[in-house]
Amino acid sequence: MTQARLTAIGMAVPDKKIDNQYFESIIETTDEWIVSRTGIQTRYYAGPEEFTSDLCVKAAKNLASRHPGALEGVDMIIVSTVTPDQPMPSVACRLQFKLGLAGAGAIDVYAACAGFSYGLVVAKGLIAGGTHRKVLVFGAETLSRVTDFTDRSSCMLFGDGAATVLVEAAEHGNIGACVTGANGENGIDLYISGFAEQMDGQPLSMNRKIVQNGRKVFKWAVTKMSEQMRVLAEKNGLTIDQIDWFVPHSANLRIIEAICKETGFPYEKTLESIVNYGNTSSASIPIALFNGIASGKVKRGDKIMVLGFGGGLAFAGTVIEW
């Protein structure tokens, strides 16, 4: 049976780097406060004429430069984002044109911080089903466009960036069993407003910016992800201590530390992107994975658990053998 294999990776961020001193100039905060509560030191913001599809193009070109010929024959593009260039057409359709991938299908996945993991699940299914053989999966965001810079509790969290992986049909796959799930009743705890002015009878802030109940999301993430780490390991015939690297969504360094404490997983065996890139939602996991591979930390044969969680509230994950 045809299996799915992750074979290549690339990433990109905008040129404009934003340090914590920037926020000291616009809200009542300090670098020390931001680092102590989030771990974030820097993040990147897109320019006024730079959009999510532009960052995706850069990430795809980076992948191609590292893996020559990788884009030839791509037959599906999956983009996870909550910040598309426009609601329609999809970012994936823009990429099909911009990258010249004439034979590729194109869909966007709207699962926020769990989106890249959901993209891997979809790509694996398409390949196992025999309908596609080369799938580009992107996680990409320009969250600076939906950040409420008057909200001192969250505005320093978010950053812009993109990363992509190639998933190919192979005799021997390296994407293992997956988990997916949601707690949709908690949607009010993390949202960006659109047309509806209320959710489940509760009024929404209609500024079309990110609204987050940080404490509730923190508690849910630690409890649910600690549970799902164990579930995901068991589904793959592993114990947690057999995982070489854990790559959770980089929402907040303190969340990652708390998950590690709850599960007993060594913090030094986690890969994060929060410190240098901020919370990039859909892009956080593949950016962390890219840097783990590029730095030489991740070795061939390592078992990598990826676990996305966030807006929805939704989660998804899998285990990859690099």
| CA separation for the pair 322, 319 (Å, rounded) | 10
Q: 198 pairs with which residues across the strands?
A: 203
pLDDT (average), residues 203-208 = 93
Residue labelled with tokens 């990429």: 95
pLDDT tens-digit series, residues 12-30: 999 999 999 999 999 999 9
List phi, psi (to 5°) of 119.
-60, -40
* CA terminus-to-terminus distance, the chain: 20
pLDDT tens-digit series, residues 120-151: 999 999 999 999 999 999 999 999 999 999 99
What integer pLDDT is reported at residue 161 of this predicted model?
98
Structural contact between residues 83 and 96, judged by C-beta atoms closer than 8 angstroms: no
Residue 217: pLDDT above 90? Answer: yes
Structural domain harbouring 12: 3-172
Asked if residue 131 and residue 8 are part of one domain, the reply reads yes
- pTM of the complete model: 0.97
What integer pLDDT is reported at residue 74 of this predicted model?
98
Residue 1: pLDDT above 90? Answer: no
Question: What six digits make up the tokens of 256?
Answer: 């990652």
Last residue of a domain, one of 141, 172, 203: 172
- Structural domains in the chain (count): 2
Asked if residue 162 and residue 76 are part of one domain, the reply reads yes
Last residue of a domain, one of 135, 150, 172: 172
| CA separation for the pair 288, 48 (Å, rounded) | 26
Which domain CATH number covers 200?
3.40.47.10
Asked if residue 149 and residue 79 are part of one domain, the reply reads yes
Nearest partner of 279 among 256, 304, 262, 306, judged by Cα: 256
Asked if residue 217 and residue 125 are part of one domain, the reply reads no
Known catalytic residues are 113, 249, 279
| CA separation for the pair 15, 227 (Å, rounded) | 38
pLDDT tens-digit series, residues 232-245: 999 999 999 999 99
Q: Give the whole-number percent of the chain exceeding pLDDT 70.
A: 100
